[in-house]
Structure 1
């Protein structure tokens, strides 16, 4: 393929290696574990270790430097994510067991690829009690269990509450049964242990003698006696701050990092849930060594940085997702889209107000148990430290308001005092009547920033933010859903090239080993859906006119859901009625406006489920929607290629989420975890390597070309990806280009790589194209070569109309 290793000074692939090369080129350099790029695979029973091993040669040919694997430990049966680990002491049998894992490692080693492993220190899965030996032992022995201290359980609150019964608790308790041998208490398919010496009598009699109580699922939100992952009661938090628990939960993973040179690092899931993230990360860094790659899955607010004391290389890159995607959004579309959203919903409200209200709702409902436990700690702290007796009825609303006022997911006291101060100020604004209580709580937190109150409050603030903002407000405030993304800020309508360059420079200077992402298993819509939706910001009038007509013909039970539904339909088109119905069902319940997971409304759910079939059953409307998508498709593809190149060529280590090397239009999980057609991708990559320059169309080969060209260049010419400097275009259409130079590291002041992408392509076409716009290249050199098309570049200031004639992006390199 043009730009493949072997052409234009890019270097050899494993398939094109010179005969004298006896071992494959290693994607990790000799001095660190940092890969050139990663490729995320969602491993499961449908994509086992063995099947992943068979993909390694494809990943090698694609040019990536490491496999980024979802959790490998034993998890719940049929798990498509692996975050519900039930036994952290062994590898997943369903995915292939230890033998399969070793075979995958061997395959990676044979191709010179590394492996980044996702780990889950915050919680374990307890949905099937018998699958988790630690949890089962706790249920048998209660507080006397040798694993009782492994879990964050409030034993002083009485028996461990398990919210697994139907809403009618008394009726459900009458339906309990005992196993034939009397050793298990059963509720339909659920089984729980009967402690020795507690049998005899009716199942209900036996139940009352246990160290646990089965209760209605409705009681979990307010009465749960163990810490969990957000509001998911089937994921019980573990206390990795305890050395024994850390050792038990990490022993197997650390064995891999010690034995396998292929395992180059770890990605830590949800560190904000831990009691002391910084302390945990220091312990983990000491265990894996200073040269291993260590990342945290951490959502940063705009302008927020990781705590300086954390010994990590960076995050999984949600901040880059917002910045790179945002530069393809036209800020001039904000006014009309904002006006239309207010008109359509009948509500003129800022996203900040919606977010605050949503946070307060989740704090008082689905996360009420966590808020109340924090309030109890607060009462204790105030009495102990200040001899203040504050009524609980005052403390709960004060803690609620404080948790809803944080500007970030979590403060890290004492480092995060600014965030705490802001939260207190916001809480006072909303509830001035609680000012005295809030002042006392503030003082208590600062007096003991590592105490139990501070720990509980900080753990809970991230939960409130995630459930209130990401999983509620982002489904309610639907002015322009391309911005409603993990790590995003819907209030900020787009990102200027100036801001993009500033954040890239900061990333290169502060954390060049951080990961950058565009799509993940947690994003609410794939990078290509967002790229297509970005086009709407350029043509807001056309979009508003169409949506107004379409929504009048096929309304939904809630007006803001209509905004989300029509944008999602356009963004993911073509999409089946089944996929769309599943998405809208989840979205409407997350919004919690007319139905919810906790309080489903049958008639509303039925109406929403029927909507996609009605819309897609209207042939005339389908034709109209198809024509509109065709109208914006080319601009969407341009945006997709542009943001992919900026990610792959920019600072940080870029991750390619499975399947997104082609255009891929998925919505939130589980839609984005569907099987990937790797055979098609292999075939297209083979054609590219034969010299095919594809057109830009729905097949997506053009995106594969851009991806492989940049990934291979990063792998075989890593010296080109040091440093960063903006490269401004000059001419009448200069603001439609975003470009930067790299390769000026190690004392070399001459940049040797330039990446350029087209932004706002509809506006560019409307003004007649690039005209006389040029891109002055750094150093006034004339020996540049364009890698993607494998063509020489004319002059030191090429015209963009020629440079971008075939593709809306270009990747220029000077010879070594």
Structure 2
């Protein structure tokens, strides 16, 4: 096995059909010049046709053809290697995309429980509804099944020796055991004993359970032989083909016969709305087309990871980012297996941590994908007193509730009732069986149990727990989280007997044990993470709009910021426990880019001025609000969007606001569009963009906060590159980037511009480059300069930022001390950055930072300073942030 290199820095690229391996190869030289050590790619195994993100994998053993396939992948990897860079890949173990391109899924639809791959997917083959036993619900129809059938929207077609069902622009396989309905009639028409034999043989194919592998393989072999014989018969006797076509046509014309034939399949076609309550397989959140994998099964792990592990083994990859580990049945066991297979790999997990929560130290991985860092940095840039005042501004403008936790709880309950209803029903059926086996609980009704499960799930303050009954594993943290959630549920649902919640807590904490109890615990833990994600991130974050820049994955936007001491405490904890975790500011999933959040943070410094501004804007635009449906909360959200992302085009504004309104699910939703509201929203946005008076007011306000926002951007950027961890740079954000949520943040990146700007500043002496970048602020040069210099330093001296490097807060004194974040890494690097600079107004009032002894060089300006008490004003005179190294060890 080739020795793998731990990344020092990464650069995230989003690959798709319009930005392929060859396109990515074209920017490798630029990334090398910038100072990046590893390119970090979005998933690039074979995905669904047209995928723009790669998370909808259909084949784990192929490189995505739309990206250029194996040949282009080889060219890309060689280019990386030739320039000395490494590579990290985003991988998706939790789920696969459905469709014909997914041969595992196709085989399951065709053969049901007798499929070779039935064990690959998390399917409930024995649900409560008897009509769905041993069947997969396929909710693709635009209307009720019977109506679609009556209208001719479902038909059977023949392609060679295969038969397909066509419905809702999709094709589905036909069960071999159902073919006698077609072939036996055709045999009569063709007077063919051979065809009659084949028809009977298809009908006699054995049924097999997923555990009976030999029987499954024998069935598969017999099926293939029978198909070959049918194909041969058709080629030798054309009248047989004609007879089959006649039989198929008659079947399509016979409503009852077609219905009976469809009922023989291993799936049941259904109205798409049935999915929320009746779906029998675990999904990725509420996405029907992404089915959960049973990766905890060793053969599933091996088959879905073979290519990835081969790349890691050969050094094609140095590491992986594991998508959504909380969706896995047993994340710890998964990471242990992955670590054993790739002992030298840098492994990070997309684990979303809530405030105060930390990654489990027994997970054999380097850390998270960085949302925890993002939120701590975001929090330290806001003014607590200003946030408290913004609560009043928000309430006065919208008359909306301002208790975020109550809003989040309500949205979580809603999502368990609607989008995740089928998951609740599955858990309820299990819990009913458990209660039936315990005489003290058997008289609780199914409805009570369903409500109790929903309430407890909604009360969890973290994504999930990690109890493993099979190994008797449960931490004190898990026990406390379960106790908190059940006590919360008791208080909120006093109409339900508290004993039911006590019993549920007993099951979740292994006080009540058994096979069903184990299954319930494992499934419940997989359930609470989508409740949090869909209820909070994808709903509440678009409803609670006090300061939208705080509404980020893993954040508590109801919290009034993070103190400097809390920031230092977090960094010290990371250095001690996960010094190689990822640190990031923007990802493909962030609600807003780092620069948008940096600008919006300034509003916490001027809450009164912001409140006056939005009230004036609302009065100015009152005549443009042509519908009573356009609510004040949406309008408030819109004004913040303009402030954060200005300048933006009308089309970007409309697309983003439509997405935000649908996510909020207050006036319109993705599944039930309120056309009247959406039209009113679009008309309002168009009218405001056409109002010179309003646009002028917006531009004046943006001008007031833009400078402080840019300083915030430089602050968080330098913190990212010098705090404990491996910093990641999201594509294109080395310049000012005012992107919103996807797909806005996946717009094409102008790399030619970035190459040119980097070349310009790289050619200048340090002091001149710093001055030039400040003069060309609008071009984004200060951000590029900060990133480039930090990357160069990290590449020259990775040991200064690695596992052995310490983290020490530096002493700051003076009246403006709380406006400074300063710390020492090891003995060689000092970071000094300002915060809350708009309210500071440059009045440092002799605030001093105590530098360790020695001569220090500012790597951003080339200024030389002596150790001891140094005025912050002096440190930040020429450039908004300071990155210092000891002269004796410096190569500036």
Q: Return the TM-score normalized by structure 2.
A: 0.84
2:488 is matched with which residue? 426
Task: Tell me the alpha carbon deviations over residues 216-244 of structure 1, each in whole angstroms, 9 at most, x when there is no partner.
Answer: 11111111011100000010111001111
Seen in structure 2, the aligned counterparts of structure 1 residues 205 and 613 have a Cα distance that, compared at 3 Å, is farther
User: Are 1:225 and 2:280 matched, yes or no?
Assistant: yes
Which has the larger displacement, 326-335 or 351-360? 326-335
The answer for the alignment partner of 2:303 in structure 1 is 248
C-alpha distance in 1, partners of 2:83/2:363? 33
SS at match of 2:727: strand
Deviates more, 1:76-85 or 1:522-531: 76-85
* Aligned equivalent of 1:123: 95
Identify the match of residue 166 of structure 1 among 134, 142, 157. 142
For the residues of structure 1 that align with 2:5 and 2:358, how far apart are their CA atoms? 23
Q: How does 1:760-775 map to 2 (within 5 A)?
A: 760-765=836-841, 768-775=842-849
Q: Give the conservation status (yes or no) of the 8 Å contact 2:400–2:633.
A: no
- From 63, 67, 85, the equivalent of 2:35 is 63
1:505-654 alignment runs, 5 A limit: 505-552=572-619, 553=621, 554-555=624-625, 557-654=630-727
Is the Cα–Cα contact under 8 Å of residues 448 and 454 in structure 1 kept in the other structure? no
Shift of 1:435: 1.1
What residue number does 1:284 align with?
A: 338
Please name the residue that 2:738 is paired with.
665
Residue 678 to residue 104, structure 1, CA distance change in 2 (3 Å)? same
| Deviation of the 1:590 alpha carbon | 1.1
Q: Which residue of structure 2 lines up, in the alignment, with residue 489 of structure 1?
A: 556
Deviation at 1:515, TM superposition (A): 0.6
| Distance across 1 between alignment mates of 2:883 and 2:602 | 23
Query: Do the aligned partners of residues 627 and 169 (structure 1) sit closer, same or farther apart at CA in structure 2, a change above 3 Å counting?
Result: farther
The correspondence for 1:754, drawn from 830, 844, 847, is: 830
TM-superposed deviation, 1:709: 0.6
349, 353, 360: which one aligns with 1:300: 353
Aligned to 2:105: 135
1:739 corresponds to:
822
Q: For 2:22, which of 47, 50, 54 is the aligned residue?
A: 50
- Structure 2 CA distance for aligned equivalents of residues 380 and 242 of structure 1: 25
2:369: which partner in 1?
Answer: 316
Inter-partner Cα distance in structure 1 for 2:743 and 2:565:
36
Question: Is this contact kept in 2: 1:301–1:408, CA < 8 A?
Answer: yes
Indicate conservation of the 8 Å contact 1:645/1:710, yes or no: yes
d(CA) in 2 for partners of 1:393, 1:794: 72
What is the CA–CA distance in structure 1 between the aligned matches of 2:175 and 2:732, rounded to whole Å?
A: 49
| Match of residue 199 from structure 2 | none
Native 8 Å contact 2:821 2:832 kept in 1: yes
Indicate which of 425, 444, 453 corresponds to 2:507.
444
Which 10-residue stretch deviates more, 163-172 or 543-552? 163-172
Any idea what SS the aligned residue of 1:705 has? Answer: helix
Task: Give the root-mean-square deviation of aligned CA atoms.
Answer: 1.8
Separation in structure 1 between the aligned mates of residue 146 and residue 654 of structure 2, nearest angstrom: 34
Question: SS in structure 2 opposite 1:215?
Answer: strand
Are the equivalent residues in 1 in contact too, given 2:736–2:780 (CA < 8 A)?
Answer: yes
CA distance in 2, matches of 1:297, 1:464: 17
Q: Choose 176-185 or 644-653, whichever is displaced more.
A: 176-185
Matches of 2:487 and 2:120 in 1, distance apart? 36
Aligned-partner Cα distance in 2 for 1:326–1:365: 33
Tell me which residue corresponds to 1:21: none
CA distance, structure 1, for counterparts of residue 631 and residue 461 of structure 2: 29
How far did residue 47 of structure 1 move?
Answer: 1.3
User: How far apart are 1:262 and its partner, in Å?
Assistant: 4.1
Shift of 1:36: 1.1
Aligned residue pairs, count: 772
Q: CA deviation at 1:772?
A: 2.3
- Tell me: CA distance 1:32–1:75, structure 2 relative to 1, closer, same or farther (3 Å): closer
Pairing of 1:698-709 with structure 2 (within 5 A) = 698-709=778-789
Q: Which has the higher contact order (CA 8 A, sep 6+)?
A: 1
Q: How does 1:670-689 map to 2 (within 5 A)?
A: 670-689=743-762
Contact 1:122-1:237 within 8 A present in 2 as well:
yes
Q: What is the CA deviation profile of residues 77-119 of structure 1, one whole-angstrom value per residue up to 9, with x for unaligned ones? A: 2211110001111111111211222222211111221111111
Partner of 1:513, secondary structure, is coil
Matches within 5 A, 1:347-426: 347-384=400-437, 388-389=441-442, 390-413=444-467, 414-415=474-475, 416-426=478-488
1:111 aligns with 2:48: no
Q: Deviations over 1:331-372 (max 9, x none)?
A: 121232101211222234411100111100000111010011
For residues 213 and 345 of structure 1, do their structure 2 counterparts lie closer, same or farther at Cα, with a shift above 3 Å needed?
same
> 1:188 Cα shift?
4.3
Query: Does the CA-based 8 Å contact 1:784-1:793 persist in structure 2?
Result: yes
Moved more, 752-761 or 768-777: 768-777
Alpha-carbon offset, residue 599 of structure 1:
2.1
Distance 2:497 2:79 in 1: 61
1:353-410 CA-partner distances (Å, limit 9, x unpaired)? 0011110000011101001101111122233466742421221011111111111000
Counterpart in the other structure of 2:813: 730
Distance 1:697 1:493 in 2: 31
SS of equivalent to 1:735:
helix
On the 8 A contact 1:296/1:315 being kept in 2, the answer is: yes
Q: TM-score, normalised by structure 1?
A: 0.92
Q: Is the 8 A contact 2:107 2:117 kept in 1?
A: yes
Q: Distance in 1 between matches of 2:426 and 2:640?
A: 40
> How far is the alpha carbon of 1:802 from its aligned partner?
2.5
Q: Larger helix proportion, structure 1 or 2? A: 2
Mean CA deviation greater in 329-338 or 510-519: 329-338
